[in-house]
Amino acid sequence: MWNMIIPMLIIVASNSIYNICTKSTPSGVNTFASLAVTYFVAMVSAIVMYRVTSSGGTFVTELSKLNWTSYVLGISIVGLESGFLYAYRAGWQINSTQLVASIAVTCVLIIVGFLFYRETLTARQIVGMIVCVAGLILVSVK
């Protein structure tokens, strides 16, 4: 049971801290200068965690196992981070930005899962997506 709960607790804590930090980033700083520092700290943290969790082998060996996904993930993270920074700077509230984004992403991923990963798409999921879209409208329209 804990192997299911602990990762979700990490996600919720990290995502909460992420949104608080993103909302609190000074509006006068260049978005990409801020992200460069963020990713430098993330890189150092990841390398330290690699060292702590590695059971042998070298970092170069691990790098040789990578495919296109790590590179595209890096680009998508820059889009994600800059999108949230721009959203908060445009006036989105911290109490709804993540909610709207998460619901929209979930709806997109339900369709992606069905089209590309042969996951089941049930009538209940379709109704749920409709309810989510209605919720998005209620939450985001002022």
What is the per-residue pLDDT for 136?
84
CB 107 within 8 A of CB 135: no
Q: Give yes or no for a contact between 132 and 107, defined as CB atoms under 8 angstroms apart.
A: yes
Q: Are residues 46 and 9 in the same domain?
A: yes
Predicted local confidence at residue 48, as pLDDT = 94
DSSP secondary structure code for residue 67 in this structure? -
Statement to judge: residues 61 and 121 lie in one domain: no
Do residues 23 and 78 both lie within one domain? yes
* CA dihedral for 6, 119, 76, 24, sign (positive or negative): negative
On whether both 27 and 84 belong to a single domain, the answer is yes
Residues of the chain with pLDDT below 70 are none
**Judgement on whether residues 5 and 69 belong to the same structural domain of the protein:** yes
Same domain, 65 and 114: no
Clarify whether residues 116 and 78 are in a common domain. no
- 86 and 101: one domain? no
Q: What is the pLDDT of residue 82?
A: 96
pLDDT of residue 21: 95
User: What's the domain range around 115?
Assistant: 95-142
Domain count, the chain: 2
The pLDDT score that the predictor gives to residue 56 is 80
Residues 14 and 79 in one domain: yes
